[in-house]
Amino acid sequence: MRTQVAIIGGGPAGLLLSHLLHLQGIDSVVLESRDRDYVEHRQRAGMLEQGTTDALRDSGVGERLDREGLVHHGLELRFGGAGHRIPLTGLTGRTVTVYAQTEIVKDLVARRLADGGDIRFEAEVVDLDASAPRVTYRGGGETRTLDCDYIAGCDGFHGVSRPAVPGLRTFSRDYPFAWLGILAGVRPSTEELIYASHDRGFALHSLRSPTVSRLYLQVPPDEDIAAWPDARIWDELAARFATGDGWKLHEGPVTDKAITPMRSFVAEPMRHDRLFLAGDAGHIVPPTGAKGLNLAVSDVIILARALTERYATGSETLLDGYSDACLRRVWRAEHFSYWMTTLLHVDPAATAFERRLQRAHLDYVASSEAAATSLAENYVGLPIE
């Protein structure tokens, strides 16, 4: 079997890359180790930068996004018992949109299959050769080999692609806290996201739809989720979101609950021979800045442009510059995510002096247009090179 581009991983990065290549007449095969139902229902973040929504619309998969996505023009920083709105659109002219990653995956799977795309679910990659290049995988009780011109490793942090790159240099940071996240079947208590910094720890009020809320609490990284019955979660959320004006948190049935550790990670370079890493295969960010999915999208946009140039002209100039182009954006997003995380969370090892510095910085961001603009510019997303 042969294709032009073998794509390992059927998440939003791999599926969008396959779609973008199809629009340019480039063949690809997507190999996904999980079944379709799992891929379309695994819960992930859903805050989309302006560049991500533009890319989905421009490629023809934005119809349901435009119909069901919740466009946000601002966010709230809440600390000291008061809220401080950051007017994202007013400061940057751009927006962010809440649209669950599960829905993006459903849209892309449906579109690729409608276009005759080749997505092979339950296809576990067992070997790959970045020089030949080829991918060997198991599926349907058989082991098969797929020859190709290029391989795109879009298979996440625990996938097989990154270990296949020799001589990687990695950079990482583990944070001394984690997020306890819940989905709740209740009308959101806010129309825009609330990022709360409290002496008891960070809290985030997000939303999935007009009837579904997504909320998070800072907890220790080794916390046992069994120690958090629903009633305790709601009590703690109410305490961390409390304001002096009587704001009320809507409570409802918890439908999903999980604890997620916080980590920053970057691998360099993001290319080896004819293998290209994209998304979580090459980098991860703490979720505070909502950059993970958006970085994956920018990676595959850059890769799709480079592959399009290669097949159209024979030039590999953009392919040769892929890793550097991606990493410039990755490191900016890593810094922003680190900055947001350290600004809003309680570090258990922080001194009283450091806590007062943190509060002074929050006051500055909330009161300075220049500081708020810097936050807003990074939050809505920088242009994709």
Of all residues in the chain, what percent are helix, strand and coil, respectively (each to 5)? 40, 30, 30
Does residue 143 surpass a pLDDT of 80? yes
72-82, pLDDT tens digit by residue?
Answer: 999 999 999 99
Say yes or no: 243 and 269 in one domain: no
pLDDT value of residue 42: 81
Say yes or no: 144 and 208 in one domain: no
How large is the average pLDDT for residues 256-278?
A: 96
**Structural element, H or E, at residue 233:** helix 230-241
Q: Which residues in 310-324 are b (16+ Cβ under 10 Å) and which e? A: bbeeeeeebbeebbe
In this structure, what token pair is assigned to residue 301? 């946009």
Active-site annotation holder among 99, 150, 322, 379: 379
Say yes or no: 254 and 333 in one domain: no
Say yes or no: 292 and 339 in one domain: yes
Active site residue 38: no
Cross-sheet strand order for the sheet of 96-98? 47-48, 96-98, 70-72
Distance CA 130, CA 4 (A): 13
Distance CA 56, CA 39 (A): 19
Does residue 276 belong to any structural domain of this protein? Answer: yes
- Which CATH number belongs to the domain containing residue 211 in this structure? 3.30.9.10
Give the residue numbers spanning the domain of 331. Answer: 5-71+97-172+263-343
Active site residue 22: no
How many CB atoms within 10 Å of residue 223?
15
Active site residue 287: yes
DSSP type of residue 349: T
pLDDT value of residue 384: 82
174-228, pLDDT tens digit by residue?
Answer: 999 999 999 999 999 999 999 999 999 999 999 988 999 999 999 999 999 999 9
Of all residues in the chain, the percent with pLDDT exceeding 70 is: 99
Mean pLDDT for the chain overall: 96
Active site residue 99: no
Say yes or no: 53 and 198 in one domain: no
Active-site annotation holder among 137, 150, 195, 322: 195
Torsion angles phi and psi, residue 278, rounded to 5: -145, 145
Give the number of domains in the chain. 2
* Whole-structure pTM value: 0.95
Active-site annotation holder among 19, 22, 72, 205: 72
Active-site annotation holder among 272, 283, 291, 345: 291
pLDDT value of residue 350: 96
Active site residue 195: yes
Does residue 383 surpass a pLDDT of 90? no
